[in-house]
């Protein structure tokens, strides 16, 4: 009999034998009756500040006792046999090779799924490979030399390559999530991502995981082309007939479009050829940088001084602003760095990243406010769905100019931002060295400034009273998610206007983050295979 046991409480320095003994106590049985223990999930309980943080585990175990164990729904349950994911292989040759555009998580996983089924996909990416892209990005950060085709936002691995590598997942499809995580582990990620409640990889490890994932696509029969951009789609009578890639026409009846939320030229191209689009709400704001030791103290209290858990993270929200707008933290990077991001000349936004060790002295997080169509400029003509892009560009141009027009980030002490005063200076000790003092108020919509000034002090109280004087603010955070949705059929995931066009990932406007985008790519490919396999 296989059982699932939840709420297994263990010290942080537990061993595999400790897990077995704890389960034996819960089941009131000798440890000899247990075997094949598999830890499924591990979270930290640091709620009680009068004792050290503890791990809370869930695990499956084979039970061989002579008496039936006492079951308790949600605590001790009989486990159904886990069914493997169905494998789909090519039953007939594809008439034409499927094309995947974009080598972020959605594109890579769509390509791998199709390749492993025997359909020899062609994956094209406008930016460079990870090995070439990484020094390009470092040159941008150090010397402000921007490559508009390969940068922090474009290239193999997508925008997530230079981030914390957070694997947050709201999906209930646990089997697909575990399948994806196992692929990442097989490609070099830590096995801890399979069990941690808040798994992350780190930008340094992603630099080896992503090329290994690409190689799996190639080994399975796919082809990958870098520095190769999508120019146009060929559509006849509402059906995809091909794609023009770097000036070369490729005939295909299936294109999986996974170009990310920053490929504005792709959105404009789709609008020009009448692919149905709609404007989508998103969020803008600022990025706050705090001393990591203060974050650790807020989460672990005095135990932060001796805890082996490493840098703590946080998630805070506030509701009740004007027009019922709230504010929430986004993309929190413990022990990380604030970074400048750009994909177009003369425009600038900010984001955060951290390495696998999360060992830098500062943590950072976006504090962002929802915006919608009522906030966007009204665009006349054929492209009303692109109002959110124009909205982003307005503030990204202002951010670029406020930073000195050399891709330095404008920054301001939080106390000055809250008071609405001009900056005097910014701390010498900070994670982003290419930053300059600036008044951030003109770089954001007035309603966003109003909400941030009301929300941030209240949100910081949840972090055990972190003081504004300890916080540095960078602007502007504009690309939290896509401002455009490429409308697709919920049953086939094809564009509602073009048969054979599958919008995927963050650029489609239906997902956000590494995990949801990867699952989007896998599932779209599986749906196509179910019809064409």
pLDDT tens-place string over residues 434-443: 999 999 999 9
The model's pLDDT over 145-175, given as tens digits with 9 standing for 90+, comes to: 999 999 999 999 999 999 888 898 877 788 8
The model's pLDDT over 214-232, given as tens digits with 9 standing for 90+, comes to: 999 999 999 999 999 999 9
The model's pLDDT over 16-66, given as tens digits with 9 standing for 90+, comes to: 999 999 999 999 999 999 999 999 999 999 988 788 899 999 999 999 988
- Per-residue pLDDT, 93: 59
- Per-residue pLDDT, 465: 74
The model's pLDDT over 469-498, given as tens digits with 9 standing for 90+, comes to: 999 999 999 999 999 999 999 989 999 999
* Mean per-residue pLDDT, 206-212: 96
* Spatial separation of the C-alpha atoms in residues 51 and 59, rounded to whole Å: 24
For residue 91, pLDDT over 60 is answered with: no
β 349-353/282-291 pair status? unpaired
Q: What's the per-residue H, E or C state across 252-275?
A: CCCEEECCCCCCHHHHHHHHHCCC
β 501-503/255-257 pair status? parallel
- Per-residue pLDDT, 164: 84
- Per-residue pLDDT, 201: 95
Which of 334, 341, 339 is CA-nearest to residue 356? 334
For residue 86, pLDDT over 70 is answered with: no
The model's pLDDT over 297-315, given as tens digits with 9 standing for 90+, comes to: 999 988 888 778 889 999 9
- In order of their start, the domains of the chain are 2-78 (3.30.70.2700), 99-279+483-532 (3.50.50.60), 282-377+393-477 (no CATH)
In sequence order, what E strands does 402-519 have?
Answer: 409-413, 435-437, 472-477, 484-486, 501-503
Work out the mean pLDDT of the chain and round it to a whole number.
93
- Per-residue pLDDT, 121: 97
The model's pLDDT over 509-525, given as tens digits with 9 standing for 90+, comes to: 999 999 999 999 999 99
In sequence order, what E strands does 117-219 have?
Answer: 122-124
User: Would you call 1 exposed, middle or buried from its count of C-beta atoms within 10 A (0-12, 13-18, 19+)?
Assistant: exposed
* Mean per-residue pLDDT, 205-213: 96
* Mean per-residue pLDDT, 232-250: 96
% of the chain exceeding 70 in pLDDT? 96
The model's pLDDT over 402-424, given as tens digits with 9 standing for 90+, comes to: 999 999 999 999 999 999 999 98
For residue 281, pLDDT over 90 is answered with: yes
For residue 88, pLDDT over 80 is answered with: no
For residue 317, pLDDT over 80 is answered with: yes
- Per-residue pLDDT, 48: 86
For residue 244, pLDDT over 90 is answered with: yes
For residue 253, pLDDT over 60 is answered with: yes
């Amino acid at each position: 009999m296989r059982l699932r046991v939840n709420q297994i409480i263990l010290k942080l320095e537990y061993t595999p034998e400790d897990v077995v003994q704890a389960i034996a106590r819960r089941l009131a049985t000798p440890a000899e009756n247990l075997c094949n223990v598999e830890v499924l999930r591990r979270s930290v309980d640091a709620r009680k500040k009068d004792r050290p943080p503890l791990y809370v585990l869930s695990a499956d175990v084979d039970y061989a006792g002579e008496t039936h164990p006492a079951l308790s729904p949600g605590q001790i349950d009989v486990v159904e046999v886990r069914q493997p994911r169905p494998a789909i292989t090519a039953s007939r040759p594809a008439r034409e090779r499927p094309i995947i555009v974009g080598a972020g998580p959605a594109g890579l996983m769509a390509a791998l799924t199709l390749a492993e089924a025997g359909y020899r996909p062609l994956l094209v990416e406008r930016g460079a490979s990870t090995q070439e892209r990484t020094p390009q990005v470092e040159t941008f950060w150090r010397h402000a030399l921007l490559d508009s085709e390969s940068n922090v936002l474009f290239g193999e691995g997508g925008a997530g390559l230079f981030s914390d590598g957070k694997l947050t997942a709201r999906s209930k499809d646990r089997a697909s999530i575990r399948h994806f995580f196992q692929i990442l582990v097989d490609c070099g990620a830590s096995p801890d991502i399979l069990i941690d409640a808040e798994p992350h990889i780190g930008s340094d490890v992603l630099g080896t995981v992503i090329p290994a994932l690409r190689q799996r696509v190639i080994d399975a029969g796919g082809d990958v082309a870098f520095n190769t951009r999508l120019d146009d789609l060929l559509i006849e009578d509402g059906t995809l007939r091909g794609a023009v890639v770097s000036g070369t026409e490729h005939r295909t009846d299936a294109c999986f479009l996974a170009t990310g939320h920053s490929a504005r030229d792709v959105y404009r191209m789709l609008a020009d050829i009448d692919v149905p689009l709609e404007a989508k709400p998103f969020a803008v704001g600022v990025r706050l940088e705090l001393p990591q030791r203060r974050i650790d103290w807020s989460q672990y209290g005095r135990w932060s001084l001796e805890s082996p858990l490493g840098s703590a993270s946080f998630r805070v929200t506030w509701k009740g602003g004007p027009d019922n707008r709230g504010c929430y933290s986004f993309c929190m990077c413990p022990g990380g760095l604030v970074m400048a991001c750009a994909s177009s000349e003369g425009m600038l936004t900010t984001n955060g990243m951290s390495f696998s060790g999360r060992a830098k002295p500062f943590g950072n997080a976006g504090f962002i406010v929802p915006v919608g169509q009522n906030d966007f400029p009204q665009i006349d003509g054929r492209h009303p769905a692109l109002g959110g892009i124009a909205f982003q560009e307005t503030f990204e141009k202002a951010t670029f100019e406020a930073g000195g027009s050399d891709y330095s980030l404008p920054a301001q002490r939080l106390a000055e931002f809250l008071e609405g005063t001009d900056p005097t200076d910014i701390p010498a000790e900070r994670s982003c060295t290419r930053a300059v003092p600036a008044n951030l108020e003109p770089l954001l919509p007035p309603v966003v400034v109003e909400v941030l000034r009301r929300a941030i002090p209240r949100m910081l109280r949840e972090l055990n009273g972190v003081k504004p004087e300890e916080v540095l603010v960078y602007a502007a955070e504009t690309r939290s998610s896509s401002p455009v949705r490429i409308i697709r059929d919920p049953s086939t995931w094809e564009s509602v206007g073009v048969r054979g066009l599958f919008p995927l990932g963050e650029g489609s406007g239906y997902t956000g983050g590494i995990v949801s985008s990867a699952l989007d790519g896998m599932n779209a490919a599986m749906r196509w295979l179910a019809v064409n396999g």
